[in-house]
Amino acid sequence: MTVMTTTDAAEATDETDQTAQTAGTPATGAATGPPARLWPVLLASYIGQFLVVLDVSVVNVALPSMRDSLHLSGSALQWVVNGYALTFAGFLLLGGRLSDLFGHKRVYLAGLTLFAAASLAGGLAQSDAVLISARAAQGIGAAFLAPVTLSLLTRALPEGAARTRAIAAWTAVGAAGGATGGLIGGVLTDLASWRWVLLINVPVGVAVGAVVLLWLRDSHRDAERPALDLPGAVLVTGGVGAVAYGITETESAGWSSGSALLPLLAGLAALAGFVAVEARTAQPLMPLRLFRIRAVAVGNVVTLVSMVGAFAMWYFLTLYMQTVLDYSAIRTGLAFLPHTAALILASQFAPRLTARFGSRTMTVAGGLLTAGGFLWQAAVLDADGTFVSAILGPALPMAAGIAILMALLTDVSTSGVGERDAGGVSGLVNTSRQIGAVLGLAVLGTIAASAAEHGTPEDGYARAFLAGGLITAAAMLLVPFLPRPGRGA
């Protein structure tokens, strides 16, 4: 799905040239310059992001078929989903930093190759062990891909309207991947087999890999092989993975259980050790000086808190439509098309509105629009709901608000950062989003389960949307601490 049109790409290229000419330098954007052609950057960035987000949700509707085909237990079925999510969250920071050290093209191709090979192994799996291992390997490949898809844009385009448009489109493509995952998974499962939910990544990966190999220019040209902060990589990967695992365990075991508390505490200890290592090492994986940039520090906090609420839209609406309204997998996917359309349209208008009203004003507007949509959704969820009354109405403000909010937060959180740190900061932004989503599923899932015990499932879903709306609105209280445009610190 290409959200940024050829015209947009041409405009972005023109603005890059104009910005460079104004500065009295060649139109190179950064130290090594953007690629000679912008379209390979856009294609690699958008399709890579679409694949990464799609595989978070596309397997959900195929889970019953996987269970019947491979005779999976309930815990094994859960790990088909969690195996991907945990390795994805755990390796994001490492993936982002590797692209800074070894070049975006090389890390992109490595991540894409691993992602496609793991998809092939999962699609051909004959046992739960092979399938779960393949999903975990997919997550690692996705963690290498995701930061590169963002840093490609931030390197190719200088800060300004062109980059804001490109990041808005990147956000919309990712959200569209999440929204259409159920539809694509349902169609492939019903018309072919659950195996094609994974196998479809192979031909797509080969096609995109060919474009990247032939037309994308690498960003790293140093003859000397850079050093990798191995202790920092081990600590942050293990720490983030352990925290994510502990959070997922709270949904079934509770926050006070040993199976949740032990990995949470171990993960936090590992992250504390990571900070200590980064403060002392000469070539840190994540330089702590980046957190002195106000846009990076505050932007990632707001992103994490916002994603706690934003994730509710996809997860709880899917449950509501399938368990309460008895929608089929395909019908559920089709019901999300208005959300997808609103995301795409809002992402296209966001840069123009931002140019007129300012990034902080529009970030707050996006957050309040999202929160208002959540509260509307909470008010209309009932057993007699129709598509128009219970889904279509709230979909428009929710999806439009999320598109504006995420696009602007991503743009702000990556501003004021030099080329050498673009991959690391992109990995940090993606990690904030992923941890926020995992935390949101655990917290709001607990709230929904508690409300459903004393009522109906739809009561639980409504309570989750109510909490999500309040959390999103609360996150907007931090927006005034973001720097004004042109001030990175």
Residue pLDDT, tens place only, 257-284: 888 899 999 999 999 999 999 888 877 8
H or E element, residue 128: helix 128-156
Least Cα distance to 310 among 364, 368, 363, 374 occurs for 374
- Residue owning tokens 């994308």: 216
The lowest-confidence range among 43-57, 117-131, 268-282 is: 43-57
pLDDT band at 473 (very low <50, low <70, confident <90, very high): very high
Model pLDDT, residue 434: 82
Task: Assess contact for 68 and 121: CB atoms under 8 A.
Answer: no
> What count of residues does the chain have?
489
**Cα separation of 102 and 95, whole Å?**
10
Model pLDDT, residue 485: 61
**Cα separation of 263 and 240, whole Å?**
10
Task: Assess contact for 330 and 183: CB atoms under 8 A.
Answer: yes
- Residue owning tokens 């808005």: 168
Residue 107 half-sphere exposure toward CB, CA atoms < 13 A: 32
Q: What's the pLDDT tens digit per position in 153-197?
A: 887 788 777 888 888 888 888 877 877 787 888 888 888 899 999
**Cα separation of 377 and 474, whole Å?**
18
pTM, full prediction: 0.75
Model pLDDT, residue 461: 92
Percent of the chain with pLDDT over 70: 89
Neighbours of 480 (CB within 10 A): 9
**Cα separation of 170 and 174, whole Å?**
6
Neighbours of 380 (CB within 10 A): 15
- Contacts for 207 with CB less than 8 Å, ≥ 6 apart: none
